Amino acid sequence: MINNKLKILNIILFNYNDRVGKILNYSNIFKSSINKLKIEGRYRYFNEIERKAGKHPYASWISKSKNNDIIVWCSNDYLGMSQNKLVVNSMIDSVKNMGTGSGGTRNISGNSSAIVNLENELADLHSKEKAVVFSSGYVANESALSTLLNILKEPVVFSDEKNHASIISGIKKSKASKEIFKHNDLNDLENLLKKYPEKKPKIIVFESIYSMDGDFGDICGISKIAKKYNALTYLDEVHAVGMYGKKGSGLAEELDLQNSIDIIQGTLGKAFGTMGGYITSSNIICDTIRSYASGYIFTTALPPALANAATTSICYLKESDKERKLQQKNTLLLKKYLANQNIDFIDNKSHIVPIMVNDPIRCKEISNILLNEFKHYIQPINYPTVPVGTERLRVTPGPLHSEKMISDLTIALKYAFKKTQNINFKKHA
């Protein structure tokens, strides 16, 4: 009797253990994926910082219950417009008058006069008939591109190989055929276009400034090729709006090519210092996107206060170029200091200065040294934002950085590079 009970118990235990072994352990899967990032040096650590209104580029670093003053060098608030008194007061006054929220989607109860005025201002900024505002630049690209490509009959999209994530996502959400052309390579683009008949719907998607290398897209060359092959042009100007051109419209304006581009996409979250994204184009293209894009139809509209603040910032930068000029001056100054110290950086014509490290773990370590020992804040950039082996510190000097700050940063960088030069980072991975 006892032996039979033991046999039954062993059978039960065996079946239980066998079942447990086959149960999918979700936590282990997620832990494994995180450990993989850490081993490769790609795990992202986010420093908690608190910006100080009126004191840009200073901020507080919240660490170990202490608040340390730091200098921010990696902000996309390129001109410090988020702390411009006119912009700040515009938002404060709007909140007092209209509250904090929009009340819903644009088609239900969120179509405020503030957002309508913003779209009119954006259309004027880019010399287009109409503009459509989205909750972010990412959503603008994803929604506009996927909508256009799904409405056209069996289209082909030609995308620069260095286009960023929101463009790639928008293309993937469509049923369009895709051709990737070599970065800024007009011959490669034209050879790809030649493969398709003239009546085949075609869209060429590219950027005016590529944010990780800081180089310019060939707007003139691509627009000419697009006209030759009857293709629409879609230009992402998110890193250029506010920064270039007489009115701050972007690189297309500076090159007098706005009328050569069919659709211009931009952001309110960088040089304009607020939040949101948009596209500008003809009435019919904008109306099509407004009527079909789920990222527009089914999301809460920008709050009126945010829309008014963005409009104030745009109007201000249409008239004032002192911020742009100071920013350009400081960019040249930083490049001069870096060159004098033989610090490797990509020297392009834009306001973006990528300092090359080319190792993810060393890049993070240099970032830590700058922050912990010198109170200079620059987040490391690694894969998938940039290719493996091209890790960097992306510096964006602004109009409110001083020459002393630039000099101090260069000294700190030289020290950090030297301190980490003999460490075997593969061993420590």
Give the mean pLDDT of 160-172.
96
E strands present in 293-396 = 353-356, 376-377, 380-381, 392-395
CATH code that applies to domain 47-72+321-428: 3.90.1150.10
Q: Whole-angstrom Cα distance, residue 247 to residue 34?
A: 45
Residue 247 has pLDDT above 50, yes or no: yes
Q: What is the mean pLDDT of residues 168-183?
A: 96
Residue 270 has pLDDT above 70, yes or no: yes
| CATH 3.40.640.10 given to domain 84-319 | yes
Domain ranges of the chain: 2-36, 47-72+321-428, 84-319
For residue range 223-237, list pLDDT tens digits in order.
999 999 999 999 999
Q: Which residue has the higher pLDDT, 6 or 308?
A: 308
Work out the pLDDT band at 428, boundaries 50, 70, 90: very low
pLDDT of residue 6: 57
Q: What token pair was written down for 271?
A: 């040089």
- Catalytic residue from among 130, 162, 270, 364: 270
Cα 276 from Cα 310, distance rounded (Å): 9
pLDDT of residue 18: 59
Task: Tell me 183's DSSP state.
Answer: T
**424 vs 263, residue with greater confidence:** 263
- The answer to whether 133 touches 277, Cβ cutoff 8 Å, is yes
Active site residue 270: yes
